[in-house]
A = this chain, B = another copy of it.
């Protein structure tokens, strides 16, 4: 049940996290580990490969395996089209002419038609976030129906485009919410809220969708971690 490569990997993992091997240290060589565990070099290499994938070590040709320092500049963020624990409600579905910032974000000529889908998210019945999605209108495409059924924004496009050729990019800032959004969320016009803007585009650079989320209240906080596995560690508030 316990595989040898897994045992070796776990042991080294523990020795790194306990400080037995510190950043800058060298691990024992492949041959030393193979001798130590009475196994072949290939099995040892498989164990080391796991640690390399976790960004704990880096092999250096001709020298050995270097233990790396942790990387605190990279964070991992979960962001779902439908916030966990919320219910949703459609506030408006419309076809509107592109204008101003939205036209620019989608790279469209002003005046071309856009599908607007505005949806709010309720926590315990209280609206705490509002999503606006803008999708270039192409006659005969059942994109609204797909949206209504699947709800996950980028997924709406995976029938039409090659799925792996689609990217999502995100910008996070604070800005004054437009009047329509304030009306939905029940806040004063012009209130500054957390804004999350997503652009959906193909890898060739074509912008195929844009969405904005306006967040108020404590459920709307975004969280990110220096480690995908670390969520369990910090029930702070």
Contact = CB atoms under 8 A, between A and B. Distances in A.
A60 to B, nearest CB: 18
A191 to B, nearest CB: 8
A91 interface: no
Interface residues of A, number: 64
A112 interface: no
A221 B74 contact: no
Interface stretch (A113-121, A135-143, A192-200): A192-200
Tell me the number of copies of this protein: 2
B77 A76 contact: yes
Given A18-B162, A73-B79, A79-B73, A194 B168 contact: no
Interface of A: 16-19, 22-23, 49, 53, 56, 69-70, 72-81, 104-105, 152-155, 158, 162-174, 191-194, 199, 201, 203, 205, 207, 215, 220-227, 230, 233-234, 236-237
